[in-house]
Amino acid sequence: MYGIVRSSSRILKFQNVRYASHSCKILVLGGGCGGCTIAAKFSKKYKDQPNHVIIVEPCEDHYYQPIFTLIGAGVGKLESARKKMKDVLPKDAQWLKDSVVGFDPENCKVTTKNHTIQYEILIVALGLQTNWNAIPGLAEGLENPDAQVCSIYGPNTVSKVFEKIKRTKNGSALFTFPNSPIKCPGAPQKIAYLAEDYWRKQKRRYAINVVYNTTLPVIFGVKKYADSLWEVCKRRNINVNLQTNLVEIKPDKKEAVFQNLKNPEKKWTTEYSLLHVSPPMSAPDVLKSNSLTNEAGFLSVSPKTLQHTKYSNIYGLGDCTSSPNSKTMAAIAPQSKVVYKNIMATLEGKEMDHCYDGYASCPLVTAYGKCILAEFDYNLQPRETFPFDQGKESHAAYLMKKEAFPFIYWNLMLRGHWNGPKIFRNIFHPFEKTPEV
């Protein structure tokens, strides 16, 4: 029933095959964290049935993005975050190296630039799109080596961040959080803490005004961790401005224009000596404006089952869905189990019985060697794994961020073996009740 209709399985990998048709049981869109993780689970299940799992992914390289924050602070190099896509995607799945361009959910078909694919089950894991052109002056500023504009948010920009931090000797160092949903909402302030710590260690902190301008009305969404972060900022004299939006950069003059979101007419221009920008993000263009998505362009899924709200043979995971969790890799670990189990139940004609509780985690690095390990759920209540107070800065949490999580990612998660730390939480907190979602 399944299989390649007009091409051999090997040909799938080559771009010069035009308009070939394929069919498969499980079609995964996106070979990033979510796509690779879920494809690994299904290819293990169907390893004796070639062509059952197809992954559509255009990129040659796969990145472990969480380590970009440390790379931006001079801890490690970009090469440590990068592997070849062909080496991380599951060997028992077919990789179609192409971009999705259209959906036809009524007929269970997806089109890519060069192919059409018929599926029984579709899993969408297309991530978030980074909109570098949404702020006038940002793209020019990043390209201009003298403009002192930088960002940890792109594989092409992250390597230049530390150089620019090192070059900053005085003036105002501004760090921004955009007016859109973003991946790892903690990262824009983590890089501010690391840069501040660097300047302190270099004995030039007294000459630099460190400012964190966020569009959000809070420093962090979970009160327990927000309280700790306010203390860090107070102790280290980091100025935090809430509801403050970067709207334009004038790289030649080293000036940034901000807007007060409480009174959007109110705009002002500030000089900077360093500007770290977390760019606006959105659902990928290909997802926007079709019957699969909500108004903002995110794949409409049930927050509990991660099944599409209209088409029962479509599921989503990761940053591109409407599920209101914090968009992190840590969230994808339990999501991947829920999606896998619920699809298997559907295929076997059973009720779906796995439910995602919104778990997400954010290792909030506050200095070289220190981290607050935030873990929480849909209710924004802490769901901590370890038997110590994770709201306090600790070296253990920093080591997990730097060493343990990358190891878990490459060796367990991408191979379909990591469903999050619940197993450890159950050991350390045996009497904790699972909250209602």
Whether 108 is a known active-site residue: answer no
Only one residue has tokens 């999606």, namely 339
Q: Identity (one letter) of the amino acid at 294?
A: N
Taking the least distance from each CB to ligand UQ1, the nearer of 14 and 428 is 428
Q: How far apart are CA 291 and CA 301, in angstroms?
A: 12
Q: What is the DSSP string of 189-200?
A: HHHHHHHHHHHH
Q: How far apart are CA 340 and CA 313, in angstroms?
A: 12
Stretches 221-229, 305-313, 315-323, 369-377: which one binds ligand FAD (CB under 6 A)?
A: 315-323
Whether 150 is a known active-site residue: answer no
Please select the residue that binds ligand UQ1; options are 116, 413, 414, 416, rule is CB under 6 A. 413
Q: Which are the contacts of 271, defined by CB distance < 8 A and separation ≥ 6? A: 171, 172, 253, 254, 255
Please select the residue that binds ligand UQ1; options are 315, 370, 409, 414, rule is CB under 6 A. 409
Would you say 196 and 366 are in contact if contact means Cβ atoms under 8 Å apart? no
From 33, 184, 233, 371, active-site residue: 184
State the number of binding residues for ligand UQ1 (CB under 6 A).
14
Which option in ligand FAD, ligand UQ1, none does residue 408 bind, with CB closer than 5 to 8 A by kind?
ligand UQ1
Distances 264 to 219, 256, 268, 392, 407 between C-alpha atoms, Å: 20, 16, 11, 36, 44
Q: Answer yes or no whether residue 32 interacts with ligand UQ1 by CB under 6 A.
A: no
Contact letters for ligand UQ1, residues 53-92 (x by CB under 6 A):
-------------x--------------------------
Q: How far is the CB of 154 from ligand UQ1 (least distance, A)?
A: 18
DSSP-derived secondary structure letter, 321:
B
262 CB burial (10 A radius; 0-12, 13-18, 19+): exposed
Stretches 8-16, 139-147, 243-251, 406-414: which one binds ligand UQ1 (CB under 6 A)?
A: 406-414
Distances 177 to 85, 183, 259, 285 between C-alpha atoms, Å: 30, 11, 12, 22
Q: Answer yes or no whether residue 328 interacts with ligand FAD by CB under 6 A.
A: yes
Q: How far is the CB of 48 from ligand FAD (least distance, A)?
A: 27
Q: Which are the contacts of 235, defined by CB distance < 8 A and separation ≥ 6? A: none
Please select the residue that binds ligand FAD; options are 81, 117, 187, 408, rule is CB under 6 A. 187
Taking the least distance from each CB to ligand FAD, the nearer of 4 and 330 is 330
Contact letters for ligand UQ1, residues 249-268 (x by CB under 6 A):
--------------------
Residue nearest ligand FAD (C-beta atom): 32
Q: Answer yes or no whether residue 420 interacts with ligand UQ1 by CB under 6 A.
A: yes
Q: Answer yes or no whether residue 135 interacts with ligand UQ1 by CB under 6 A.
A: no
Distances 375 to 93, 205, 333, 363 between C-alpha atoms, Å: 33, 31, 13, 8
Question: Which pair of tokens denotes residue 342?
Answer: 């619920």
- What 3 state SS string does 367-431 have? ECCEEEEEEECCCCCECCCCCCCCCCCEHHHHHHHHHHHHHHHHHCHHHCCCCCCHHHHHHHCCC
Residue 257 parent element (H or E)? strand 255-260
> φ, ψ for residue 177 (rounded to 5)?
-125, 125
Which option in ligand UQ1, ligand FAD, none does residue 413 bind, with CB closer than 5 to 8 A by kind?
ligand UQ1
Please select the residue that binds ligand FAD; options are 318, 358, 416, 421, rule is CB under 6 A. 318
**Binding-site ranges for ligand FAD (CB under 6 A):** 29-35, 56-59, 65-66, 68-69, 99-100, 125-127, 152-153, 183-184, 187, 284, 286, 318-320, 327-330, 332, 362-363
Would you name the residues annotated as active-site residues?
184, 362
**Binding-site ranges for ligand UQ1 (CB under 6 A):** 66, 329-330, 333, 361, 363, 375, 385, 405, 408-409, 413, 420-421
